[in-house]
Amino acid sequence: MSFEQILFTKDGHIATITMNRPAKLNAYSEKMVHEILAALADARDDDAIRCVILTGTGRGFCSGGDIGFDFQYPARYRGHKLESMLEMRENMHVLIRFLQRFDKPVIAAINGAAVAGGLTLALACDFRIAAESARLGDTSLKFALIPDEGGAYFFPRAMGLDRALKMSLLSEVYPARQALELGLVTEVVPDAELMVAAHALAGRLADGPPIAIRLTKRMMYKQRTMDLDNALEDAAMATLVSNYTEDVREGTAAFHEKRKPRFQGK
């Protein structure tokens, strides 16, 4: 599979997607979005892959949408009265939804600036490990734009409504340690240790029982909008898959034999 604006590699059970527009701090374009979607679909369909790392090259993780002077809506939208709505619905919104429905764990390794849509992209992942020098925030209103990639959904859930409003309305950007305190990232590590830490977490996830991990992720995402009765019913239904896997027998045997389990995802 050939890409122009991302790098896509696989190493054992871990796939890495690297946004590769360093001159623009990895601002996303339509091409980049669709290349990330293609890489994610490949990782989804490859049973050997159990975890995905999303990161960027250079000084940026992702600086949001490309609003450079050479930016234009794709030709098929241009001149349409709904061009901006169609462009969001058919591009970045598809990626955000895909990440939220993606059953395998996704780690955002935030190597630099993650602002506006770039912060939304990181928050759509399951874990966020930030380099010490990373900066995170929402700069949309500096350009009289709005957090239209999903930020208005993710920001308050991550940091609370008042803090999210303050960040967006005042176009605030925070150093990694402050972002950790605000709930925007999971962990902060020295710059040189970013990918080591991301791969260490990915390795731990990849060693786990793949079916149970995927079901647990889906349950937690779905049950955020359920009442208790529906959540419990959802969990009960999931056991019809999880409780009868070979991995359950392997986990039980490993416990009694005092050894590390070798889960096969079967």
Spatial separation of the C-alpha atoms in residues 142 and 237, rounded to whole Å: 47
Handedness of CA 2, 36, 118, 133 (dihedral sign): negative
Instruction: Please give the residue that has the higher pLDDT: either 264 or 221.
Output: 221
Domains and CATH numbers, the chain: 6-206 (3.90.226.10), 209-256 (1.10.12)
Q: What is the DSSP letter of 2?
A: -
Alpha carbon distances (Å) from 61 to 113, 155, 215, 235: 5, 17, 29, 36
Confidence of residue 75 (pLDDT cuts 50, 70, 90): low
- Side-chain-side CA neighbours of residue 115 (13 Å): 26
Give the model's pLDDT for residue 15.
97
pLDDT band, residue 176 (cuts 50/70/90): very high
Q: Which of 40, 65, 67 is nearest to 53 (CA)?
A: 40
**pLDDT tens profile 119-174:** 999 999 999 999 999 999 999 999 888 888 899 999 999 999 999 999 999 999 99
**pLDDT tens per residue, range 2-29:** 899 999 999 999 999 999 999 999 999 8
> Under a CB-based contact definition with an 8 Å cutoff, are residues 155 and 199 in contact?
no
Q: What is the number of other CB atoms lying within 10 angstroms of the CB of residue 118? A: 30
Q: Is the pTM of this model over 0.85?
A: yes
pLDDT of residue 72: 53
- Distance between CA atoms of 172 and 183, rounded to whole angstroms? 15
Q: How many CB atoms lie within 10 A of CB 227?
A: 8
Give me the chain's average pLDDT, please.
91
- Yes or no: say if 117 and 65 are a contact pair by the CB < 8 Å rule: yes
| Chain centroid offset of residue 118 CA | 10
**Does the pLDDT value for residue 114 go beyond 90?**
yes
